[in-house]
């Protein structure tokens, strides 16, 4: 894949409005924190959808500059450090969409993020699904799948199954309330995969969005 193709693929992956993530964000959330907000496309879509303030944390300066144009505030820097900003405040919802797998200690980061949630707040996490059937196919061929972008992005430091993700949220102090499976097929095969039900989903879906709530 050429450098230009990689940039375009990353743009399509990280600069989208993520309707799947939006579905997990409560309409009543009046203050939202987006970890790894990229150019702010998701946060901007949420601001258009509902009356809310969106704060982003973004590592890359070029993305942070774009996000500052559409979000209420952007903290430029590492997610873990950004969560320690003294005036960050409390939130109704925290989003970690395709960011935790890139971090050295996603468990500590998510625990700290949940500390910023008001009681009854929502945490929404999107992760690649390592239990996806393609993983086993590639391992049977003797190699771990590594790609420039996507679920097998070579920059990922951690891999999660749905059970790992449940443990991740519960370890951060949130009770899991919903899981949405994301399929990387055309419409017909996606319909077939969905009909096979929740037992087949961990093997047929390449990604999932999981959400949880904190205690009262």
> What pLDDT was estimated at residue 8?
44
In whole angstroms, what is the distance from residue 99 CA to residue 110 CA? 11
Q: Count CA atoms closer than 13 A to 41's CA, side-chain side.
A: 14
In whole angstroms, what is the distance from residue 99 CA to residue 127 CA? 8
Mean pLDDT value across residues 200-210:
96
What does the pLDDT look like over 50-71, one tens digit per residue?
A: 999 999 999 999 999 999 999 9
Query: Over pLDDT 70: what percentage of the chain?
Result: 93
CATH numbers and ranges of domains, the chain: 3-214 (3.40.50.150)
**At which residue do the structure tokens 């086993």 appear?**
136
In whole angstroms, what is the distance from residue 178 CA to residue 112 CA? 21
Q: Could you tell me if 40 and 55 are in contact, meaning their C-beta atoms sit under 8 angstroms apart?
A: no
What does the pLDDT look like over 98-120, one tens digit per residue?
A: 999 999 999 999 999 999 999 99
Q: How confident is the model at residue 1 (pLDDT cuts 50, 70, 90)?
A: very low
Whether the predicted model's global pTM rises above the 0.85 cut: yes
Mean pLDDT value across residues 77-95:
95
The radius of gyration computed from the CA coordinates of the chain, to the nearest angstrom, equals 17
Q: Is residue 4 predicted with pLDDT exceeding 80?
A: no
> What pLDDT was estimated at residue 156?
93
Q: Is residue 12 predicted with pLDDT exceeding 90?
A: no
Contacting residues for 46 by C-beta, under 8 A, at least 6 apart: 22, 25, 32, 52, 54
> What pLDDT was estimated at residue 13?
54
Q: Is residue 9 predicted with pLDDT exceeding 50?
A: no
Q: For residue 180, give the 3-state DSSP assignment.
A: strand
Question: How far is CA 184 from each of CA 133, 138, 157, 178, rounded to the nearest angstrom?
Answer: 12, 17, 22, 20
In whole angstroms, what is the distance from residue 51 CA to residue 17 CA? 17
> What pLDDT was estimated at residue 6?
37
């Amino acid at each position: 894949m050429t450098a230009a193709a990689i940039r375009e693929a990353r743009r399509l992956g990280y600069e989208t409005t993520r309707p799947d993530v939006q579905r997990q964000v409560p309409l009543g959330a009046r203050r939202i924190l987006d970890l790894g907000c990229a150019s702010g496309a998701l946060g901007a879509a949420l601001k258009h959808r509902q009356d809310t303030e969106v704060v982003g944390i973004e590592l890359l300066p070029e993305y942070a500059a774009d996000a500052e144009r559409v979000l209420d505030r952007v903290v430029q820097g590492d997610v873990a450090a950004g969560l320690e900003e003294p005036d960050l405040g409390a939130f109704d919802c925290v989003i970690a969409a395709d960011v935790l797998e890139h971090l050295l200690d996603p468990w500590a980061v998510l625990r700290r993020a949940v500390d910023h949630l008001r009681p009854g707040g929502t945490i929404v996490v999107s992760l690649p699904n390592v239990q996806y059937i393609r993983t086993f196919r590639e391992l049977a061929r003797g190699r771990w799948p590594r790609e420039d972008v996507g679920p097998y992005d070579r920059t990922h430091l951690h891999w999660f199954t749905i059970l790992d993700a449940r443990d991740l949220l519960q370890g951060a102090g949130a009770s899991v309330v919903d899981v949405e499976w994301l399929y990387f097929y055309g419409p017909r095969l996606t319909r077939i995969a969905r009909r096979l039900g929740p037992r087949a989903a961990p093997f047929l879906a390449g990604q999932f969005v999981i959400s949880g709530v904190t205690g009262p």
